[in-house]
Amino acid sequence: MSLIIDALRRAQQLRLKDGQNIPFFKSQQSPDGRRRAGPGKKWLFLVLGLICPLLILWIVVWNPLSSFLEEKPPQPVFLVEKNRPSILITEKNPEKPAKALSSPLQETEKGLLSSESPETKREEPLLKQIEKEPKPKIAKPLRRPPMSKPSPPSGETSPPLSNPSPLPKEEATRSPADEIQEVLKPLPPSVEILTLFNQGVFYQNQKEPVKAIQVYQKVIELDPAYFEAYNNLGFLYQEIGDFDRAYQAYQKSIEINPRYVKALNNLGTLFYLRDRYEEALESFQKAVAIHPENMESHLNLGILFKKQGQSVKAMESFQKAIAINPLSGETHYNIALLFEQMNQFELAIDHFQKFIQLSSKTYPVLVLKVQRHLEALSKMKREKNK
């Protein structure tokens, strides 16, 4: 702008000089008689030629640039990380050849929880069951082969029957076609129930709880004593947040089979989620009394004791759980949390590292959080050792 103003002032001064007959603006006459512009007018045209591009440049560039410079810088967004959860799990090993499947652990505000979902046929490590998704298997019906009368030993004759009864006419005239028809008869009710149960497991693994619930209810209609179906039904109700029905289903399963450890662990988990710690303690202790080698029951007890501030009892339960299954990533994670709470950072780091090694596929998100947390924990360890 100052350049423009100076140029205008000079132009005005030149005009004044021209009015005073100063030869600056006088045109000069060439020898051939033609008039030509003097050096002053040429200089004026040059100045005006420079001013116009400057004006255009200022209009095009300066206004957007000034508005951009006046914008405020974006405010940073701060993310607050929630407290690291504990892992509360329940038993997933089978007791019957009913082939229900375990479901992955779920992250809640209170921790990573897993209630007992459908059964599997073979006993496998917990992490392996969660990591893979085995297919439900259907037991094939077994039919008893036709029994023939044993032949007497050589050289002996069978004693005659006092009142031999003639064979029924139908049995005496059985043909191979009759045998085939016998095999093709409808399956027994027990096989039908097992097939329905496996169908419910399939829907449960496909994340279709409504269909799975309907199938399990059909199983219970056909066999009201099918306690595994009640347990799986309770698990589904718990997943969709219907805790009242989940409680009723777990209770019914335990009522039919009071020694069913899976339902006891699941009921204890449900009580834990509802902050009913005394009832949760009772359920977990019953499960431990029935099956002392059940790792999940000891782990759940340890988490409950830690929640109640009983660090010594919690550590005892965790040590029992890890003695039963040293490859339990969940147990190493919870022990690490307890050691960190007790300011034993070196032991906490050791168990966190074992958790990362064992659970990178099972809990990928939690593993990333633990890896970031280890950096802060190592810094705290160095400050403590100074």
Residue 225 predicted with pLDDT over 80: yes
Q: What is the pLDDT of residues 293-338, one digit of tens each?
A: 999 999 999 999 999 999 999 999 999 999 999 999 999 999 999 9
Shared-domain flag, residues 214 and 352: no
Residue 315 inside a domain? The answer is no
Rg of the chain taking only CA atoms, in angstroms: 44
Q: What pLDDT shows up at residue 376?
A: 86
Residue type for position 170? E
Segment 6-28 mean pLDDT: 60
Shared-domain flag, residues 206 and 342: no
Q: What pLDDT shows up at residue 294?
A: 96
**Banded pLDDT at 17 (limits 50, 70, 90):** low
Shared-domain flag, residues 215 and 116: yes
SS3 content of the chain, % helix, strand, coil (to 5): 60, 5, 35
Q: Which of 283, 310, 337 is the last residue of a domain?
A: 310
Across the beta sheet with 111-113, the strand order is: 86-88, 111-113, 106-108
b/e map of 201-235 (b: 16 or more CB within 10 Å)? Answer: bbbbbeeeeeebbebbebbbeebeebbbbbbbbbb
Residue 84 predicted with pLDDT over 50: no
Contact at 8 Å (CB) between 384 and 95? Answer: no
Q: What is the pLDDT of residues 110-149, one digit of tens each?
A: 344 444 444 433 333 333 333 333 333 333 333 333 333 3
Q: Which of 280, 310, 340 is the last residue of a domain?
A: 310
**Banded pLDDT at 189 (limits 50, 70, 90):** low
Shared-domain flag, residues 284 and 350: no
Residue 180 inside a domain? The answer is no
CATH code for the domain in which residue 277 is found = 1.25.40.10
Partner residues linked to 88 by β-bridges: 113
Shared-domain flag, residues 336 and 305: no
- Rounded CA-CA distance 279/281 in Å is 5
Q: What pLDDT shows up at residue 322?
A: 96
Task: Name all contacts of 200-204 with Cβ < 8 Å and 24+ positions apart.
Answer: 200/100, 200/118, 200/229, 200/232, 201/99, 201/100, 201/101, 201/118, 201/136, 201/232, 202/136, 204/100, 204/101, 204/103, 204/117, 204/118, 204/232, 204/235, 204/236
For residue 105, what are the domain limits? Answer: 89-120+186-310
Average pLDDT, the chain: 72
Size (the chain), residues? 386
Domain count, the chain: 2
Could you please report the per-residue DSSP string of 331-366? HHHHHHHHHHHTT-HHHHHHHHHHHHHHHTTTSHHH
Shared-domain flag, residues 376 and 292: no
Shared-domain flag, residues 242 and 98: yes
Q: What is the pLDDT of residues 238-287, one digit of tens each?
A: 999 999 999 999 999 999 999 999 999 999 999 999 999 999 999 999 99
Listed ranges 33-37, 88-92, 187-191, 312-316; the one with the highest mean pLDDT: 312-316
